[in-house]
Amino acid sequence: MALAAGAIVGTWFWDVPRDQLTVDEALARAFGLDPAMAHRKLQLHEVLGAIHPDDQPGLAAAIEQAVQHGGRFSHQYRARGEDGNYHWLESIGRVDLDEHGQAQSFPGVLIDISERLRVQAERDQAQALLRSFVEAAPGVMYAKDRQGRLLIGNSGTTELIGRPPSEYVGRTDAELLGDPAQAAAVMATDERIMASGQGEQLEEQVSFPDGRRAWWLSTKAPLRDGDGKVVGLVGTSLDITDRKSAEAERLHIEERYRLAAQATNDAVWDWRMDDGHVVWNEALSSLFGHRVMETSAQWWLDHIHPDDRERIDHAIHAVIDGDGLAWSGEYRFRRADGSYAAVLDRGAVLRDVDGRPLRMIGAMLDLSGRKAAEAALAEGEERLRLAAEAGELGLWDLDLVHNVLLWPSRTKAMFGIASDAEVTIDDFHNGLHPDDRQATLAALEQAADPARRSNYDVEYRTVGKDDGVVRWVAAKGRGIFEAGRCVRMLGVAIDITARKAADARLRELNEQLEARVHAEVAERMRVEDALRQSRKMEAVGQLSGGIAHDFNNMLATVIGPLDLLALRIGDSDARAVRYIEMALDGAQRAAQLTQRLLAFSRQQPLQPVALDVNHLVAGMTDLLVHSLGSSIILETVLGGGQWWTHADASQMENVILNLAVNARDAMPGGGRLNLQTSNCHIDLANAAEHGGIPGGDYVRIAVADTGSGMPPDVMARAFDPFFTTKPVGQGTGLGLSQVYGFVQQSNGHIRLDSVPGQGTTVAIYLPRLLADVDAVPAAAADPAPLSGGGAERILVVDDDAAVRAFSVDALTELGYRVLSADGAATALPLLQSHPDIALLFTDVVMPGVNGRQLADQARARHPQLKVLFATGNSRNALVDDGVLDAQVQLIGKPFTIGELAARVRAVLTAAA
If you average pLDDT over each of 178-192, 332-346, 535-549, 712-726, which comes out highest?
332-346
Q: What is the DSSP string of 585-607?
A: HHHHHHHHHHHHHHHHTT-S-B-
Is residue 477 within 8 A of residue 397, CB to CB? The reply is: no
More confident residue, 601 or 508: 508
Distance between start and end Cα atoms, the chain: 191
**11 neighbors 3 (Cβ within 8 angstroms):** yes
- Predicted local distance difference test score (pLDDT) of residue 629: 83
| CA 260 to mean position of chain CA atoms | 40
Q: Sorting pLDDT into bands at 50, 70 and 90, what band is 242?
A: confident
φ/ψ region of 669 (left if φ > 0, alpha if ψ in -120 to 50, else beta) reads alpha
Segment of 18-27, 304-313, 707-716 carrying the highest mean pLDDT: 304-313
Which residues does 449 contact at the CB level (< 8 Å), separation at least 6? 486
CB-based contacts of 137: which residues, under 8 Å, 6+ apart? 154, 156, 236
For the stretch 804-846, pLDDT in tens is 888 888 888 888 999 999 998 999 999 999 989 999 999 888 8
pLDDT, greater one: 599 or 182: 182
540-576 residues labelled b (16+ CB within 10 A) or e (exposed)? bbeebbeebbebbbbbbbbbbbbbeebeeeeeeeeee
- Least Cα distance to 907 among 856, 876, 870, 880 occurs for 870
- CA torsion angle for 239, 245, 250, 254 (degrees, to 10)? 130
pLDDT digits (tens, 9 = 90+) for 152-174: 888 877 877 778 888 888 899 88
Q: Look at residue 394 and tell me whether its pLDDT is greater than 50.
A: yes
pLDDT average, residue stretch 785-811: 79
Angle subtended by helix axes 513-569 and 497-511, to nearest 10:
70
Question: What does the pLDDT look like over 663-707, one tens digit per residue?
Answer: 888 888 889 999 999 998 888 777 767 766 888 899 999 999 998
Mean pLDDT of the region 265-269: 85
Cα 471 to Cα 464: distance, rounded to the nearest angstrom: 8
Contact 347, 365 (CB under 8 A): no
**Nearest Cα to Cα of residue 148 among 202, 64, 223:** 223
Does the pLDDT value for residue 327 go beyond 90? Answer: yes
Q: Is the pLDDT of residue 92 over 80?
A: yes
Residue 557 has pLDDT above 80, yes or no: no
What mean pLDDT, rounded, does the chain reach?
A: 81
Nearest CA to 15 out of 134, 103, 137 is that of 103
State the pLDDT at residue 104. 92
Give the model's pLDDT for residue 589. Answer: 59
Q: Is the peptide bond prior to 894 cis by the omega test (within 30 degrees of 0)? A: yes
pTM for the full model?
0.32
pLDDT of 781 reads 42
Q: Which residue has the higher pLDDT, 798 or 129?
A: 798
pLDDT at 778 (0 to 100): 44
Residue whose C-alpha is closest to residue 217's, from 189, 236, 190: 236
Cβ of 153: how many Cβ atoms within 10 Å?
22
pLDDT score at 877 = 41
Integer CA distances (angstroms), 866 to 303, 491, 605, 754, 888, in order: 98, 87, 20, 51, 10
Q: Which of residues 313 and 573 earns the better pLDDT score?
A: 313
Residue 213, SS3 per DSSP = strand
3-state SS class at 231: strand
Rg value, the chain, Cα: 74
Q: What average pLDDT does range 520-545 have in this prediction?
A: 59
pLDDT above 80 for 219: yes
More confident residue, 589 or 728: 589
Angstrom distance (rounded) from CA 13 to CA 25: 13
**pLDDT band (50, 70, 90) for residue 907:** confident
Q: Which of 51, 44, 46 is nearest to 76 (CA)?
A: 51
Strands (E), 154-265: 200-207, 213-224, 230-239
Which among 468, 488, 491, 503 is positioned nearest to 411, based on CA atoms? 491
Give the pLDDT of residue 708.
Answer: 87
pLDDT at position 569, please?
A: 73
Contact between 124 and 117 under an 8 Å Cβ cutoff? The reply is: no
Residue 258's pLDDT is what?
A: 62
Residue 349 pLDDT grade (very low, low, confident, very high; cuts 50, 70, 90):
very high
Residue 32's Cβ-count burial label (10 Å; 0-12, 13-18, 19+) is middle
Q: Are 429 and 445 in contact (CB under 8 A)?
A: no
What is the percentage of the chain residues whose pLDDT exceeds 90?
27
Q: How far apart are CA 900 and CA 365, in angstroms?
A: 108
| Residue 126: pLDDT over 60 | yes
Task: Give the pLDDT confidence of 459-470 residue by residue, as tens digits.
Answer: 999 999 998 999
Query: What is the predicted pLDDT for the residue at 523?
Result: 61
What is the mean predicted confidence (pLDDT) over 107-131? Answer: 80
Q: In this predicted model, what pLDDT tens digit does every residue of 842-887 receive, in sequence order?
A: 988 888 888 888 999 998 888 889 999 887 654 444 554 444 455 6
Where does the pLDDT of residue 13 fall: very low under 50, low under 70, confident under 90, or very high at 90 and above? very high
What distance in Å separates the CA atoms of residue 673 and residue 758, rounded to the nearest whole number? Answer: 12
* pLDDT average, residue stretch 653-670: 85
DSSP H or E stretch at residue 349 = strand 340-351
Pick 326 or 625 by higher pLDDT: 326
Residue 841's SS3 state is strand
Q: What is the mean pLDDT of residues 614-623?
A: 86
pLDDT band of 345, cuts 50, 70, 90: very high
- What pLDDT is recorded for position 304? 95
For residue range 736-784, list pLDDT tens digits in order.
777 887 787 788 888 888 888 889 999 999 999 887 665 444 444 444 4
Distances (CA, A) of 211 to 138, 208, 214, 238, 688: 21, 5, 10, 18, 112
Residue 342's pLDDT is: 92
What residues contact residue 705 under an 8 Å CB cut-off, 6+ apart? Answer: 663, 666, 667, 671, 672, 673, 674, 759, 760, 761
Tell me the pLDDT band of 142, cut-offs 50, 70 and 90: confident
What pLDDT, on a 0 to 100 scale, did the predictor assign at position 138? Answer: 67
| Predicted confidence band of residue 458 (pLDDT cuts 50, 70, 90) | very high
Q: How far apart are CA 388 and CA 408, in angstroms?
A: 11
Residue 31 has pLDDT above 70, yes or no: yes
The confidence score (pLDDT) of residue 181 equals 84
Which residue did the predictor score with more confidence, 17 or 687?
17
Q: Between 2 and 494, name the one with better pLDDT.
A: 494
Q: Are 472 and 496 in contact (CB under 8 A)?
A: yes
- E strands, 524-670, are 609-611, 632-637, 645-647
